[in-house]
Amino acid sequence: MSVNKVIILGRLGQDPELKYTPSGAAVCNFSLATSESWTDKNSGQKNERTEWHRIVVWGKLAELCNQYLSKGRQAFVEGKLQTRSWDDKDGNKRYTTEISATTVQFIGANQSTGSTMNNSAPMENAAPQADYTVTTDASFASDDIPF
């Protein structure tokens, strides 16, 4: 038995980037920062470390993330870790590990508009919201990734 499950809550470091595969599937990428802080027992000095997590989202959820998320906004993400490889323009093998999101919850006001969303609003009339969760179970082959 094995489990591959990731749950993080962080802030976007930049606006999401939405692309479409040649077959028309939407894919959205963004980075989330998580931070931890501690006090050094010997010196009493406060320390902080920030980790950056690459997030990839597919389908309708990707389009919604692109529409409602922006730099600085908090998001709660559930998904799985995946590593993929590609050859760069010089023919070198490159690797990246990212979180393939299946659930994204938008936290707080959309900073670009300052407004919040009503969870009961229909999707087609949805405005940016405080807490909005979207889940997808779509799977895509790594060949569909346009980057």
Residue 147 within a domain: no
Residue 59 within a domain: yes
The predicted pLDDT at position 108 comes to: 81
The closest of 31, 38, 29, 37 to 8, measured between CA atoms, is 31
pTM of the predicted structure, to 2 decimals? 0.71
Contact assessment for residue 13 and residue 89, using Cβ atoms and an 8 Å cutoff: no
Backbone phi and psi for residue 105, each to the nearest 5 degrees, phi listed first: -115, 125
pLDDT tens readout for residues 109-138: 665 544 333 332 233 333 333 344 555 544
Residue 24 within a domain: yes
Residue 42 within a domain: no
C-alpha 143/C-alpha 45 separation (Å) is: 48
Write out the two tokens for 123: 């999707």
Q: What CATH number is given to the structural domain containing 70?
A: 2.40.50.140
Residue 41 within a domain: no
Tally of domains within the chain: 1
Contact assessment for residue 116 and residue 128, using Cβ atoms and an 8 Å cutoff: yes
Residue 21 within a domain: yes
pLDDT tens readout for residues 79-96: 999 999 999 999 999 999
Range of the domain at 97: 6-35+47-141
Residue 40 within a domain: no
The predicted pLDDT at position 37 comes to: 93
The closest of 57, 144, 72 to 103, measured between CA atoms, is 57
Sign of CA pseudo-dihedral 22, 62, 114, 32: negative
Whether residue 67 has pLDDT greater than 90: yes
Which of 7-16, 29-38, 100-109, 130-139 shows the lowest mean pLDDT across its residues?
A: 130-139
Q: Which residue has the higher pLDDT, 104 or 135?
A: 104
pLDDT > 90 in the chain, percent? 71
Which of 20-34, 69-83, 85-99, 130-144 shows the lowest mean pLDDT across its residues?
A: 130-144
